[in-house]
Amino acid sequence: MSKLVIVGTVAFDAIETPFGKTDKILGGAATYIGLAASQFNVDSAAVSIVGGDFPQEYLNLLSDRKVDISGIEIVKEGKTFFWSGKYHNDMNTRDTLATELNVLADFQPVVPAAYRDSKIVMLGNLHPLVQLSVLEQMESKPELVILDTMNFWMDCALDDLLNVIKKVDVITINDEEARQLTGEYSLVVAASKIQEMGPKYVVIKKGEHGALLFHKDNVFYAPALPLKEVFDPTGAGDTFAGGFAGYLTKSDDISFENMKNAVIYGSTLASFCVEKFGTERMVSLKSSEVHQRLQQFKSLTQFDIELT
Amino acid sequence: MSKLVIVGTVAFDAIETPFGKTDKILGGAATYIGLAASQFNVDSAAVSIVGGDFPQEYLNLLSDRKVDISGIEIVKEGKTFFWSGKYHNDMNTRDTLATELNVLADFQPVVPAAYRDSKIVMLGNLHPLVQLSVLEQMESKPELVILDTMNFWMDCALDDLLNVIKKVDVITINDEEARQLTGEYSLVVAASKIQEMGPKYVVIKKGEHGALLFHKDNVFYAPALPLKEVFDPTGAGDTFAGGFAGYLTKSDDISFENMKNAVIYGSTLASFCVEKFGTERMVSLKSSEVHQRLQQFKSLTQFDIELT
């Protein structure tokens, strides 16, 4: 079976939305990516770092789902990365209330030996130098390297970011970030410029408006499922990435046609993630529910115009 | 063959975009709707009003495409409705620079006798009382009445608008207008509330983010084709409505499944409309080009996940 390496934060989040607020709960990019990828029963490993304050039960949540946690370093005397944010009424914008790097400040990722030959690597949002270090530990060039990032690194580590972007096959990025990275308003033009930077495939996430996959002159558009309410958007982008990477790992087919399916799986899983606070919905998610929602995605998008 | 009645403005527009500006050119909701519907070779009639200053060649553009113009009243001593607007850099917002109602101020629509038994009626954006008057002239209840409107009427003629909304089968409206009409941020909830107001089908237009079709618990999402540049958005919404109405008139099937196709045709035609100033692209549009772009829409949205 193909293997998947995931690097990203494993963290505490405290979230406030118009629907309520949480204390410190389980969060982090690698957490959401791992939970999403676990839906595909793939052999994955999370590479991350936590402090001595991090509950074993949170780690068990991952290992119970066959996410290898031997690459999650535990710094007994350290504190776990903490992020706190508050969403505005439209759920599309948020204010960061607190960011405590803690053990993340000195994170030196180590990919477990058994995963250095993985076919797929998912570089979750982190400092580009940490992402690069993971890539450099791989024994041979992975079949597919997927990078997620955010505007923060464009603002304060652009050269490092461009350097890692050069080395990846797929980038997932949101619309505003794609515009910031390229200085282009049109997402078609932005995606084309990003392909010149390195990645052959560009996924632009547009939140409630869905996601676009670009490759050369090909475009695929997966809508987001229209929802009655978005309860908490935290982790939706990471869940998308985890679904995308997990599906590709399982299906062992990295063609553009199959990447379309991966985008649909990513969107499907993200549509669950936002239904409850934090990881709650992803933890309880059953494969029968995923199957049913894929059916909804089909009727949402498929039409029947005969063209000759 | 089924017949289609179109009511709306036939007008002069002066448009400014980041790409340039025009003098007074052909515009108006009924113009764009008629041009789009003409792609389906349906038997349609435009009901509107112009002044003595309106060039015969503009009327010929419609009649050449089998849009009956006997319902377009010409007020020899009057001046044609004029709108002028300027688009911002993002093309999603615009300022109205001038609105001169002229002959439109006293418009009493008259549906040509030969079209009072039409199966489909497309009520283009106009004062709700004018839209209502057209409906009242129909001999029997049409099979399908489609209403387009805008926030302006919600601000200054809400009661009249709600009265006409009550009597239609389909409403096309943009996302912000749907929110304004219902006071709901979620488009799923807004569409549900609008269905309670009368229309069984609700189409929410989201510009570059595509369009949603709602009917009871069913949703269909047609993306907009991602474009390198949007040259001039004027008339895109009317072109969408004209493609939607024209396709349904031609196919003579008003099921939800077929309405999905109508939404795709509307989106396809709208994607051409924005490529040049005003009606220029719609006037030159060939059916082979439409066919090719429908193919693009298919590869843009269709995926191949087998579900059992």
Q: Do A226 and B218 touch (CB under 8 A)?
A: no
Can you give the pLDDT at residue A291? 96
A247 → chain B, closest CA residue:
B305
CA distances A159 to A156, A162, A163, Å, are 9, 5, 6
Residue of B nearest to A186 (CA): B228
Lowest mean pLDDT among A32-36, A38-42, A206-210, B240-244: A206-210
Does the pLDDT value for residue A308 go beyond 70?
no
Helix, strand, or coil (residue A101): coil
Phi, psi of A42 (to 5 degrees): -90, 165
What would the pLDDT profile of B220-242 be if each residue is shown by its tens digit? 999 999 998 889 999 999 999 99
> Angle at CA A273, nearest 5°, toward A267 and A278?
150
Structure tokens at A232: 């908490």
Instruction: Give pLDDT, residue B302.
Output: 93
Tell whether the model's pLDDT for residue A304 goes beyond 90: no
Hey, are the CB atoms on B261 and A305 less than 8 Å from each other? yes
What is d(CA A30, CA A65) in angstroms, rounded to the nearest whole number? 13
Phi-psi region of A281 (alpha: psi -120 to 50; beta: other; left: phi over 0): alpha
Distance CA B22, CA B191 (A): 37
Contact A261, A251 (CB under 8 A): yes
| Closest-CA residue of chain B to A207 | B209
In the structure, what pLDDT confidence band is assigned to residue B308 with cuts at 50, 70 and 90? Answer: low
pLDDT tens digits for range A110-146: 999 999 999 999 999 999 999 999 999 999 999 999 9
Mean pLDDT of chain A: 95
How far B58 CA lies from chain A's nearest CA (Å)?
A: 33
Kindly report the nearest CA distance between residue A259 and chain B, in angstroms: 10
Residues of B in contact with A264 (CB under 8 A): 303, 305
- Report the alpha-carbon distance of residue B14 to residue B20 in Å, rounded: 11
- Distance in angstroms (rounded) separating the CA atoms of residues B66 and A163: 59
Which candidate from A218, A226, A295 shows the least CB-CB separation from B221?
A226
H/E element, B165? helix B158-165
Mean pLDDT of B201-222: 96
> Chain B interface residues facing chain A, Cβ-Cβ under 8 Å?
89-90, 185-189, 206, 209-210, 212, 218-223, 226-229, 257, 260-261, 264-265, 291, 294-295, 298-305, 307
Beta bridge partners of A122: A6, A146
B227–A223 C-beta distance less than 8 A = no
Q: Measured between CA atoms, how close is A121 to chain B, in angstroms? A: 23
Query: For residue B203, what are the β-bridge partners?
Result: B172, B213
Q: What mean pLDDT do residues B160-184 have? A: 97
What pLDDT digit, counting tens, does each position of A139-193 carry? Answer: 999 999 999 999 999 999 999 999 999 999 999 999 999 999 999 999 999 999 9
Nearest CB among B209, B223, B303 relative to A260 is that of B303
- Report the top-level CATH class of B3-300: alpha beta
- Facing A301 at nearest CB: one of B221, B257, B291: B221
CB A48 within 8 A of CB A30: yes
Percent of chain A with pLDDT over 70: 100
pLDDT band at A88 (very low <50, low <70, confident <90, very high): confident
**Interface test with chain A among B227, B292, B303, by most A beta carbons within 10 Å:** B303
Q: Does the pLDDT of residue A92 top 80, yes or no?
A: no
Q: How many CA atoms lie within 13 A of B246 on its CB side?
A: 31
Helix residue ranges per DSSP H, A102-255 = 128-137, 151-156, 158-165, 175-182, 187-197, 236-251
Q: What is the pLDDT of residue A90?
A: 74
Q: Is B219 in contact with A226 (Cβ distance < 8 A)?
A: yes
Give the pTM: 0.93
Neighbour-count burial of A113, counting CB atoms closer than 10 A to its CB (0-12 exposed, 13-18 middle, 19+ buried): exposed
Q: What is the predicted pLDDT for the residue at B229?
A: 85
If you count them, how many residues does chain A have?
308
Q: Do B294 and A305 touch (CB under 8 A)?
A: yes
Q: How many CB pairs under 8 A join A and B?
A: 94
Residue B25, pLDDT > 80, answer yes
pLDDT greater than 90 at residue B92: no
In the numeric block, which tokens belong to residue B151?
């926030």
Chain A residues with CB under 8 Å of B187 CB are 226
Residues B128 and A10: their CA atoms lie apart, in Å, by 56
For B56, the 3-state DSSP assignment is: helix
What is the distance between the alpha carbons of residues A175 and B64, in angstroms, rounded to a whole number?
Answer: 43
Residue B73 is encoded by which pair of tokens?
Answer: 């009243």
Which residues of A sit within 8 Å Cβ distance of B?
89-90, 185-189, 206, 209-210, 212, 218-223, 226-229, 257, 260-261, 264-265, 291, 294-295, 298-305, 307
pLDDT at residue B78, rounded to an integer: 98
Average pLDDT rounded to a whole number, residues B52-80: 97
Residues of A in contact with B260 (CB under 8 A): 303-304
